[in-house]
Structure 1
Amino acid sequence: MPDWRTRLAVSFQVDGNTVQITPIDQFSPTFSLGAEPLHSVERTHIGVVYQPKSLTFSITVRAIGGVVGQLTALALKGTPFDILLQEAEGEDWSFASFVMRRCIITSAQPGAATISGAPSATFSGFSLETSVDPKVGEAVTA
């Protein structure tokens, strides 16, 4: 079974140095690539009207170590960051890399403390740019 924690990281710059935040328990990207068919009196679907792309995400982390504190600081400062999803060495996966760039956190939802296990926190936000490098086919940036 793959170890997803080795593949997923939040990366940001501090004083010219790259800092990575891991582990991340869950990452859910959402791409809304809106397009509507353009109709005519004579025919349907004669063209297409594109709407702006919407790139959003949700990250869930356990509230242990410094991960939640670092993400909360990024959110409160409004610091842009990158989410990196890369192929682990020796693993069979569809992508060589997947990156959401210039991300901003718009909401944070800490979980309740429990007697057993660590609580988790969920951070949601949007990305201004993304790039995907599939193993088969050419890389795409949106």
Structure 2
Amino acid sequence: MTITPLPPTDWNTRLAVTYTDPDGTDHQITPITSFTPTFGTTAEPLHSIERTHVGVVFSPQQLTFSMTVPAVGDAAGKLTAIALQGQRFKVTLQEQIGNDWSFSTIVMDQCVITSASPSPATVSGVPSATFSGFSNHVESTDSSSQKTTAPPQS
């Protein structure tokens, strides 16, 4: 058995997370500790007494996110203001340097923050704030420029 090693990956890349506030101004969220988008697609089989799996029942898609931002700079303050005012905004996750990632962009549009949780201040280290919310529309573009939207536009 011969094992062929994969070519080395240039991990000299990074993702940029930006948000667009309601007036159309783009802001990069920096520094950012983490950003986790979650796309939940629920489907259940439809059964009959005669046989199983006669169809499928789809539930609405769940498009959620969570991001943690250190409380340095103004990103945590701006996101807190957006959360308290209940403003809708757009989050863009994009490849800024390099081409190692599966997706070149993920745009979560019409986002609403549902919770903001600041961490306690400590003697050492920087406090942070974690923001969670949902999106009404997502559009992703993979590395081969194939676009996908959710929920699908009719």
Does the 8 Å contact 1:13/1:19 carry over to 2?
no
Pairing 1:61–2:66 present? no
Q: Summarize deviations over 1:19-58 as a string: whole Å, max 9, x none.
A: 3141122111111111110111121111101111111111
Aligned-residue Cα RMSD (Å) equals 1.6
Distance 1:140 1:13 in 2: 24
TM-score, normalised to structure 2, is: 0.83
**One of 77, 80, 104 as aligned partner of 1:96:** 104
**One of 122, 127, 139 as aligned partner of 1:114:** 122
% identical equivalent positions:
48
Pairing 1:43–2:55 present? no
Distance 2:131 2:12 in 1: 24
**Residue in structure 2 matched with residue 13 of structure 1 by the alignment:** 22
Q: How much has 1:11 moved relative to structure 2?
A: 2.0
**Residue in structure 2 matched with residue 29 of structure 1 by the alignment:** 37
Q: Summarize deviations over 1:110-141 as a string: whole Å, max 9, x none.
A: 00111122111101111000011112373111
Question: What amino acid is the match of 1:18?
Answer: T
**Residue in structure 1 matched with residue 147 of structure 2 by the alignment:** 139
TM-score, normalised to structure 1, is: 0.89
Question: What amino acid is the match of 1:81?
Answer: F
SS at match of 1:73: helix
Q: After alignment, is 48-57 or 81-90 more displaced? A: 81-90
Distance 2:145 2:94 in 1: 16
SS at match of 2:81: helix
Structure 1 runs not aligned, ≥5 long = none
Distance 1:31 1:101 in 2: 13
Distance 1:28 1:2 in 2: 21
Change beyond 3 A, Cα 1:30–1:102: same
